[in-house]
């Protein structure tokens, strides 16, 4: 997500693609001195179920009231803030989270189908720009809410995250004998097929992030790896109506081979050049957003093995937190993980930052470690125990783990963001059963798109 008031820059990379506007000056909550909380003793299986159910609440109990899609944010200290601001990418994560809820029996399928139908009807009638939805929409009217002055049109990356969820819905219900479920699958298919991916190339061999009816392509943000945007290229190639050529992927995302990194961190190969990370790794969400549906295990193209790239990203992040070169209190084998999330400003107020090794502010974002569960299961479950068994009253709220905390500053923000809560249940489920990975990767058009781009998968036989 993007942040309106502050643009985070690293070596020329604009992180306004991944942050979230938060101009409030509310302070985080002091969390007291030592840990006097009576420990819980939940089993790992109980913990996994609890965190999935809790993350689901964000998209079920706290959904935007009209569209039933994901609110951009939910603040327990100000629940009405941005109550009708729908976030496109976070809604895609929410669709996948609801599928996890159906699969595990956390919510009743007929009620979920009714809700999802409401959401897809909203998307059908909402503003679109050459098929792409904007970053934010008004949940009552479907009108675009400008993210910034020029960002008032189509956001192709947010749209890709949404389309990832639409394809999973299509696949999950496509063979149903129930008329409502089958209609939902067909509606998801129609919405996905209406996205004009090729328009966003400007006729060049690269995809562009934004297009505005007022400002055209003036934002001029090209999608080049490695960051969170790989799924955009995969879906653009998979599109039956508006497909891109392999050369767009090779010159754009892969930088004609420039995406490769032969260096190591903590003895672990980095594999890919993380944008702006100076040889290290970027925020953890880069290995989450595209991989809720896209299964990186054994997935490779001519330049990169994405199983290695994502797993090593997680392992390096863990080792960085153990090494703790800045000496923050509270970084250890049970409390770790840096990603874009709410953050603590110098004056103690709540801000937002893309936390990573070269932007380490002493803030732990629970979603970073929890959504790494397919990559670092032991280390991620240790974090889950720390949160739920050792610090439940401090760090767990109405919709699961709060967005961010700092032991060093004795601080926690009792707030939630769709993009952070939205990766938890899907990635935990992929660790458990590979549910969403199998839905997405076995979709015929997705497989065709991956093959077109030169991908091979040992898991799925192409």
**CATH match for 43-457 among 1.50.10.140, 1.10.760.10, 3.90.1150.10, 3.40.50.920:** 1.50.10.140
Q: Where are the beta strands (DSSP E) in 214-370?
A: 260-265, 268-272, 299-300, 340-344, 350-354
Each residue's pLDDT tens digit, 391-409: 999 999 999 999 999 999 9
pLDDT at 29: 58
* Distance between CA atoms of residues 318 and 312, nearest Å: 10
pLDDT tens by residue, 12-25: 333 333 334 443 44
Mean pLDDT of 305-332: 98
pLDDT digits (tens, 9 = 90+) for 207-238: 999 999 999 999 999 999 999 999 999 999 99
Quickly list DSSP for 269-289: EEEE--TTSTTS---GGGGTG
Contact between 430 and 423 (Cβ < 8 Å):
no
pTM of the predicted protein model: 0.94
pLDDT at 436: 98
174's tokens: 């496509």
Average pLDDT over residues 344-361: 96
Look at residue 249 and tell me whether its pLDDT is greater than 70.
yes
Q: Of the candidates 60, 169, 104, 100, which has an alpha carbon nearest to the alpha carbon of residue 427?
A: 100
Enumerate the β-bridge partners of residue 403.
none
Provide the pLDDT for residue 37: 79
Q: What angle do CA 180, 181, 185 make, to 5 degrees?
A: 115
Structure tokens belonging to residue 12: 């020329």
**DSSP H/E element including 169:** helix 156-173
What pLDDT score was predicted for residue 36? 61
Q: How confident is the model at residue 34 (pLDDT cuts 50, 70, 90)?
A: very low
Query: Which residue bears the tokens 């990635």?
Result: 427
- DSSP-based helix, strand, coil % in the chain, nearest 5: 40, 15, 45
**CB-count exposure of residue 346 (10 Å: 0-12, 13-18, 19+):** exposed
Tell me the average pLDDT across 404-426. Answer: 98
Write out the H or E segment, with its range, that includes residue 170: helix 156-173
Which tens digits make up the pLDDT trace of 56-91? 999 999 999 999 999 999 999 899 999 999 999 999
Token pair in block for residue 176: 């149903």
pLDDT grade for 27, boundaries at 50, 70 and 90: low
d(CA 373, CA 237): 28
Tokens of 389: 């068994």
Beta-bridge mates of residue 74: 416
At 94, is the pLDDT very low, low, confident or very high (cuts 50, 70, 90)?
A: very high
């Amino acid at each position: 997500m993007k942040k309106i008031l502050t643009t985070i820059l690293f070596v020329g990379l604009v992180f306004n693609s991944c942050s979230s506007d938060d101009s409030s000056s509310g302070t985080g909550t002091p969390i007291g001195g030592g840990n006097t909380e009576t420990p819980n003793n939940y089993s790992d299986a109980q913990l996994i179920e609890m965190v999935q159910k809790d993350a689901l609440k964000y998209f079920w109990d706290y959904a935007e009231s009209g569209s039933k899609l994901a609110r951009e944010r939910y603040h327990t200290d100000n629940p009405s803030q941005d109550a009708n601001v729908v976030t496109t990418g976070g809604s895609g994560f929410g669709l996948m989270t609801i599928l996890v809820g159906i699969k595990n029996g956390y919510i009743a399928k007929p009620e979920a189908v009714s809700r999802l139908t409401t959401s897809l009807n909203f998307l059908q009638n909402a503003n679109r720009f050459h098929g792409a939805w904007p970053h934010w929409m008004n949940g009552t009217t479907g009108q675009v809410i400008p993210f910034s002055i020029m960002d008032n049109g189509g956001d192709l990356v947010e749209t890709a995250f949404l389309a990832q969820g639409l394809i999973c819905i299509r696949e999950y219900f496509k063979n149903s004998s129930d008329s409502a479920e089958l209609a939902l699958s067909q509606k998801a298919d129609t919405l996905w097929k209406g996205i004009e991916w090729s328009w966003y190339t400007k006729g060049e061999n690269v995809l562009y992030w934004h297009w505005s009816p007022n400002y055209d392509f003036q934002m001029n943000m090209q999608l080049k790896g490695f960051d969170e945007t790989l799924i955009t290229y995969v879906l653009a190639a998979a599109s039956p109506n508006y497909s891109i050529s392999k050369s767009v992927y090779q010159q754009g995302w892969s930088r004609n081979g420039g995406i490769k990194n032969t260096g190591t961190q903590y003895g672990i190969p980095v594999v890919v050049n993380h944008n702006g990370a100076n040889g290290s790794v970027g925020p953890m969400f880069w290995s989450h957003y595209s991989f809720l549906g896209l299964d990186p295990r054994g997935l490779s193209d001519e330049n990169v093995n994405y199983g290695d790239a994502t797993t090593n990203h997680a392992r390096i992040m863990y080792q960085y937190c153990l090494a703790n070169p800045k000496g923050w209190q509270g970084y250890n084998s049970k409390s770790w993980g840096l990603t874009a999330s709410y953050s603590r400003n110098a004056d103690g107020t709540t801000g937002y930052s893309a936390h990573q090794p070269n932007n380490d502010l002493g803030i732990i974002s629970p979603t970073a470690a929890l959504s790494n569960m397919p990559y670092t299961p032991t280390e991620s479950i240790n974090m889950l125990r720390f949160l739920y068994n050792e610090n439940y009253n401090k760090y767990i709220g109405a919709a699961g783990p709060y967005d961010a905390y700092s032991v060093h500053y004795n601080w926690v923000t009792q707030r939630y963001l769709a993009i952070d809560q939205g990766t938890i249940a899907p990635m935990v489920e992929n660790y458990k059963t590979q549910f969403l990975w199998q839905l997405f990767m076995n979709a015929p058009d997705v497989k065709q798109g991956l093959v077109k781009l030169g991908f091979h998968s040992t898991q799925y036989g192409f």
